[in-house]
Structure 1
Amino acid sequence: MTVLKVIELMSESDESWEHAAQKAADKAGKTVKNIRSVWIKDFAATVGSDGKLDTYRVTCKVSFEVKD
């Protein structure tokens, strides 16, 4: 039987939501092994004074296999 654990992370990027999600996975991968998936729970962005999107933010759930 496989057991998975889920942690929730928040990340941001000034490039894109995809980059923010990748940053979360990269950061989690430094201390967590056997990552199986990243589920994006929420997207958000800040808007600059020029009216354009400034900072892209994601809240995501990272699941990983728990090994004996």
Structure 2
Amino acid sequence: MGTVAKIIELSADSEKSFEDALAVGIARATKTLKNVKSVWIQDQEVMIENNAPKKYRIHLKVTFVLE
């Protein structure tokens, strides 16, 4: 029998870096979802405050296999 996967979109942010935002997003997704197989970084943005980077945000597509 084959498998069926679902893709959802998430946003995650961090005040440290894009890499930390990715870690936050993966940690949260795997806390709720079972069988996460891949994460695609769709987009990145930096939030600016007082002419300096304040937050790093990434938009993710998370693929997981349905049971």
- TM-score (norm: length of structure 2): 0.88
Aligned equivalents of 1:12 and 1:28: distance in 2? Answer: 13
Aligned equivalents of 1:31 and 1:48: distance in 2? Answer: 32
Aligned equivalents of 2:53 and 2:39: distance in 1? Answer: 24
For 2:24, the equivalent position in structure 1 comes to 23
For 2:12, the equivalent position in structure 1 comes to 11
Runs of 4 or more, structure 1, over 4 Å off, are none
Q: CA deviation at 1:3?
A: 1.1
Q: CA deviation at 1:25?
A: 1.1
Deviations 1:24-61 (A, max 9, x none): 11111111011001100110001232x33221001101
Q: Could you tell me the percent identity over the aligned residues?
A: 38
Gaps of 5+ in 1: none
Aligned to 2:32, what secondary structure does the other structure show? coil
For 2:64, the equivalent position in structure 1 comes to 64
Indicate the RMSD between aligned Cα atoms, in angstroms. 1.0
Amino acid in the other structure paired with 2:24 = K
Aligned equivalents of 2:56 and 2:32: distance in 1? Answer: 24
Amino acid in the other structure paired with 1:45 = V
- TM-score (norm: length of structure 1): 0.87
